[in-house]
Amino acid sequence: MLLWVGLGNPEPGMARQRHNIGFMALDVIANRHGFSPWRQRFKGLVAEGSVGGVRVLGLKPLTYMNLSGESVQAAAAFFKLPVPDITAFHDELDLAPGRIRVKRGGGAAGHNGLRSMDRLLGSNDYWRVRLGIGHPGDKERVTGHVLGDFAKVEVPLLIATLDAVADAAPLLAGGKPEEFMTRVALLTRDVA
């Protein structure tokens, strides 16, 4: 079993914020691949399904971003999952909107959700699907940008990116991150 974690904040008013793109990605994946309905467990919402023949537990922590690790650690401990079987889907300032990168391990780069996961898992050796939200250009504007809703002009690219991530998800589940990234890029190349 793999644990796929979407990082975000649980308040309904935050649902369309750039910081919640991890929740959005998991929702589209769960819908596309016929996961079970979301239910409360492990201080979060969980849904189970199969992606490319691989059993996946989707988790959206309800602990708020800064405490995401509490929910992730609880689920991983219950299922006795090794850290490399965990994938976090999260917003990434250093990638342009519509761009994604997958990597295993690395630093939190100021992302409090990743920082919490690192601390509570005792390791940073999990996979990350970094979903680009772009940088506002000025360090002073980062918080407002991250906690701001996607602009209307960004929505078509956001939808195309999330759809591509869901379509290519079997490659990710199958341990083919490079092919996953290539497929997402191909599926979104004509979207402005």
Distance CA 25, CA 27 (A): 5
- Alpha-carbon separation of residue 159 from 10, 93, 173 (angstroms): 20, 18, 21
Question: Is-catalytic flag, 111?
Answer: no
pLDDT for 110: 84
pLDDT attached to residue 190? 84
Write 181-185 long-range contacts (CB < 8 A, 24+): 181/100, 181/101, 181/102, 184/100, 185/100
Domain span at 122 = 2-188
- Structure confidence at residue 192 (pLDDT): 56
pLDDT tens-digit series, residues 71-82: 999 999 999 999
What tokens were used for 163? Answer: 């759809």
Q: What is the CATH number of the domain that holds 18?
A: 3.40.50.1470
Which is catalytic among the residues 19, 33, 90, 145?
A: 19
The count of domains in the chain is: 1
C-alpha distances (whole Å) from 49 to each of 142, 157, 159, 172, 191 are: 35, 26, 22, 14, 29
pTM to 2 decimal places: 0.96
Residues in the chain predicted with pLDDT less than 50, given as ranges, are: none
